[in-house]
């Protein structure tokens, strides 16, 4: 029943997409059916790079969370940017209000400000350069070893980058509620149950979890590792949506979602990412809304660090 409903929705989405001259981008944390129907799936960096390169579409539908839609709109100001659900926010972005971040930045006027893309436009506008989990190390290392740096808002990603680069960046005290939930104890138990299975960890996880990793990386980097590894079984500590593409790309391999501390379920979902559904995707294409609208002044300021990131990622 659900399958036939999904199939009907997918047909309608494909028809509307053609009719409206739209392109659909989706993050790896989206529900499987949305990833399957998207024109392009990727991690935050790949999605920003793709958006910057889009020439031929009138309408871009960003299936992800709000900061991703804003980034697309800033990069493509002349295009209509839609999202299935504008309420799809991000606890990490919310952990860094722009006014408080401005006070922090002003208290350290001699520091360069490096921000994760998981931020509001207001925070981006206060930043010198942005990073994603896929390019953070490279971009931080592009600054002289003795450069004074602020890194916000993710204390876990910032702490991880400090540890691998030997830097001492000042960290904003923010975190992602999904990645903070992974438990080192429960991963240790899984390792006992599945000896030899590499542990794949997103750097938004706490240090105790990162220390257990065989591979630390962005969703795209973890996927790449799984594809290229000769191992057949993997323990995955990031949002469970990535398992969909891992399973598709590696049909014979087994992926075990690391469980959160406070739950008996085997998954770890971002409730914001999962707000998007096929039905809402169909509706936004059909109705031409909800549309991502950005403040033009903030967008103008935020474009500078976004473009700097894209340049430094080449």
**Only segment of 16-24, 88-96, 138-146, 291-299 that touches ligand SF4 (CB under 6 A):** 88-96
Decide whether 256 or 309 has the Cβ nearer to ligand 13P: 309
| Nearest distance from C-beta of residue 205 to ligand SF4, angstroms | 11
Q: Which helix (H) or strand (E) holds 228?
A: helix 219-228
The 3-state secondary structure of 95-115, one letter per residue: CCCHHHHHHHHHCCCCCEEEE
Beta bridge partner(s), residue 256: 235
List of residues 6+ apart from 72 with CB closer than 8 A:
25, 47, 48, 51, 60, 62, 81, 292
Binding window for ligand SF4 (CB under 6 A); candidates: 99-107, 170-178, 187-195, 283-291: 170-178
Q: Which stretch binds ligand SF4 (CB under 6 A): 54-62, 181-189, 268-276, 292-300?
A: 268-276
Q: Does residue 69 touch ligand 13P according to CB under 6 A? A: no
Q: Is 219 in the site for ligand 13P (CB under 6 A)?
A: yes
Alpha carbon 192 to its chain centroid, in Å, reads 30
Among 25, 38, 63, 92, binds ligand SF4 (CB under 6 A): 92
Question: Does the footprint of ligand SF4 cover residue 178 (CB under 6 A)?
Answer: yes
Residue closer to ligand SF4 by CB (options 51, 273) is 273
- DSSP H stretches of helix in 250-288: 278-287
CA distance 284 to 145: 47
Interface with ligand 13P, residue 118, by CB under 6 A? yes
Question: Assign residue 21 a region: left if phi > 0, alpha if psi is -120 to 50, beta otherwise?
Answer: left
**Residue in 176, 213, 258, 294 binding ligand SF4, rule: CB under 6 A:** 176
User: In whole angstroms, how close is the CB of 192 to ligand SF4 at the nearest point?
Assistant: 27
Contact range with ligand 13P by CB under 6 A, out of 18-26, 126-134, 190-198, 254-262: 126-134
Query: What is the distance between the alpha carbons of residues 29 and 82, in angstroms, rounded to a whole number?
Result: 18
Name which position in 90, 136, 171, 294 contacts ligand SF4 (CB under 6 A). 90
Strands lying side by side in the sheet with 112-116: 129-131, 112-116, 149-152, 170-171
CA 292 – CA 81 distance, rounded (Å): 6
Pick what 272 binds: ligand 13P, ligand SF4, none; C-beta below 5 to 8 Å, kind-dependent: ligand SF4
Among 30, 31, 35, 44, the residue binding ligand 13P under the rule CB under 6 A is 44
Task: Quote the CA–CA distance of 78 and 297 in Å, as a whole number.
Answer: 15
Strand partners, 81: 60
Residue 209 binds ligand SF4, judged by CB under 6 A: no
What residues make contact with ligand SF4 under the rule CB under 6 A? 65, 90-92, 118, 176-178, 239, 270, 272-273
What residues make contact with ligand 13P under the rule CB under 6 A? 43-44, 118, 132-134, 176, 204, 218-219
């Amino acid at each position: 029943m659900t399958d036939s409903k999904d199939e009907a929705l997918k047909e309608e989405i494909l028809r509307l997409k053609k009719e409206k001259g739209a392109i659909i981008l989706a993050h790896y944390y989206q529900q499987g059916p949305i990833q399957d129907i998207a024109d392009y799936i990727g991690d935050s960096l790949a999605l920003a790079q793709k958006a910057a390169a889009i020439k031929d579409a009138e309408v871009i539908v960003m299936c992800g969370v709000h900061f991703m839609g804003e980034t697309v709109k800033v990069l493509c100001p002349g295009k209509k940017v839609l999202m299935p659900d504008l309420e799809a926010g991000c606890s990490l972005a919310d952990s860094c209000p722009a006014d408080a971040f401005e006070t922090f930045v002003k208290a350290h006027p001699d520091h360069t400000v490096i921000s994760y893309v998981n931020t509001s436009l207001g925070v981006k506008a206060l930043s010198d350069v942005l990073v994603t989990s896929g390019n953070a190390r490279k971009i931080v290392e592009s600054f002289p070893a003795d450069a004074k740096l602020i890194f916000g808002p993710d204390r876990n990603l910032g702490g991880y980058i400090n540890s691998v680069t030997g830097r001492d960046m000042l960290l904003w005290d923010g975190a992602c509620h999904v990645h903070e939930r992974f438990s080192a104890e429960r991963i240790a138990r899984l390792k006992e149950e599945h000896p030899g299975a590499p542990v794949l960890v997103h750097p938004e996880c706490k240090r105790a979890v990162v220390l257990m990793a065989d591979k630390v990386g962005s969703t795209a980097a973890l996927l790449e590792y799984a594809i290229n590894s000769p191992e057949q079984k993997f323990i995955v500590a990031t949002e469970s949506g990535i398992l969909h593409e891992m399973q598709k790309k590696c049909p014979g391999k087994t992926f075990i979602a690391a469980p959160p501390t406070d739950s008996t379920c085997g998954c770890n979902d971002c409730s914001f990412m999962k707000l998007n559904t096929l039905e809402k995707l169909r509706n936004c294409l059909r109705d031409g809304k909800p549309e991502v609208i950005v403040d033009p002044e903030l967008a103008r300021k935020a474009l500078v660090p976004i473009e700097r990131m894209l340049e430094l990622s080449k």
